[in-house]
Amino acid sequence: MVLGMAALAAIVSGCSEELPPPPPQPIAFNHSVHIENEIECSRCHEGAETQAQAGLPAMAACASCHRRQAADHPEVVKFMEQYANGNGEPMVWRKVHVIPTKAMVQFKHSPHIRADVDCATCHGDVSQMTVAQQVVDVANMGWCLDCHRESGASIDCLTCHH
Amino acid sequence: MTRWGMAIDTDRCTGCGACAVACHAENNIQTVGEEEAGKGRAMHWMRIERYYEGVFPDIKVRFQPVLCQHCAHAPCEPVCPVYATYRTPEGLNAMVYSRCIGTRYCANNCPYTARYFNWFSPEFPAPLERQLNPDVSVRPAGVMEKCTFCVQRIQDVQDVAQTEDRPVRDGEIKTACSQSCPAQAITFGDLDDPASLVAQLGRTERATHLLEDLSTEPSVTYLRGGR
């Protein structure tokens, strides 16, 4: 029994280890600190409620707070330097949750938010993450379908694959 | 229920080809070049067929835009061994690229020759890759494709309507071809809504369907003559 549990734990942890590691980001952005300061997800990821892409804030939006807030934090200093010297080029953040192109899936955030799916359902509890990382295999169609079936959402192939 | 359909007024069509160009742009359709097009490998989800009546110089040309007819009894569907093509609850003839294994039976069985096979990996040399529509997948070599009735546009409008907690209005959804038609010959809408313009046009005596005797029950109605 104990051995069985251990084997199961090994399999489960083995699965989670298969998830890709968090990609290196240009700035060590800390989600948990921002959420501790009661910044809602949608304040920075503005598109999530109305658009397909949740999106990322413009560097100017980050800078508007960070001119005063934590201005001496080394990562903030690094960010402000890039902002000042970047000639208006946006920060090149790396995607954490990637659905492979070959799946030919057209994912939209807005219908999910409208259906009251919590951000954490797919993205994990980022309030506990210093570095955003994948906790759910979003490339697993079975995982999507389980939720779609439970909630009575469309399971028509064309809804996502087109 | 919703059943998407289209009406094309061939008396209004001038054969300008704007619909075909708009379709290419909207749906990331690859071009294959002159040589391969000569082998019948050109891909146009929407094409303009020309019919000449009379002898030069006393000649009359009739144009007919042809696209997937989204048949209720689609000959392409039962021949697919992997269920990559099927009829959706909203009356679209769906093509699921990621299921397709490229047998090409469907294209062989389509009486309207509205299905196109990707013989090559799509190439969009820079800077053309920047005009790709992000809402539409780029199909790789080896899969079949065809008109989707711009399902991405249908979904977008449905999405907005649901956010605003209202039904989709008639005429709100415009496919790329209908939007671009300068003669406004193409109407898109819900055939199951008797008040919709497309359903009204379908009830007129000008309404015909392509190869009607095959009983494929197309969702595309052609309007001609009778005025």
Q: Which residues of B touch A161 (CB under 8 A)?
A: 96-99, 137
Q: Which residues of B touch A145 (CB under 8 A)?
A: none
Note the pLDDT of residue B227: 54
* Band of residue A19 on the pLDDT scale cut at 50, 70, 90: confident
ipTM for the complex shown: 0.87
Q: Which residues of A touch B139 (CB under 8 A)?
A: 104
Element (H, E) at A18: helix A2-18
Partner residue opposite B148 with nearest CB, options A105, A159, A162: A162
Q: What is the mean pLDDT of chain B?
A: 95
The answer to whether the CB atoms of A106 and B152 lie below 8 A apart is yes
* Band of residue A88 on the pLDDT scale cut at 50, 70, 90: confident
Domain count, chain B: 1
Helical H segments across A22-140, by residue range: 31-36, 41-44, 59-66, 74-85, 109-114, 119-123
| CA nearest to A156 within chain B | B88
% of chain B surpassing 90 pLDDT: 95
Range of the domain at B35: 4-223
* Band of residue B154 on the pLDDT scale cut at 50, 70, 90: very high
pTM metric for this prediction: 0.88
* Sign of torsion over alpha carbons A93, A95, A96, A97: positive
Q: List, in order, residues 6 or more apart from B21 with CB less than 8 Å away.
A: B180
DSSP one-letter string for B191-219: TT-TTSHHHHHHHSTTEE-TTGGG----S
Burial A40-73 (b: 16+ CB within 10 A, else e): ebeebbbbbeeebebeeeebeebeeebeeeeeee
Note the pLDDT of residue A133: 87
CATH number of the domain that B51 lies in?
A: 3.30.70.20
Q: What is the pLDDT of residues B168-199, one digit of tens each?
A: 999 999 999 999 999 999 999 999 999 999 99
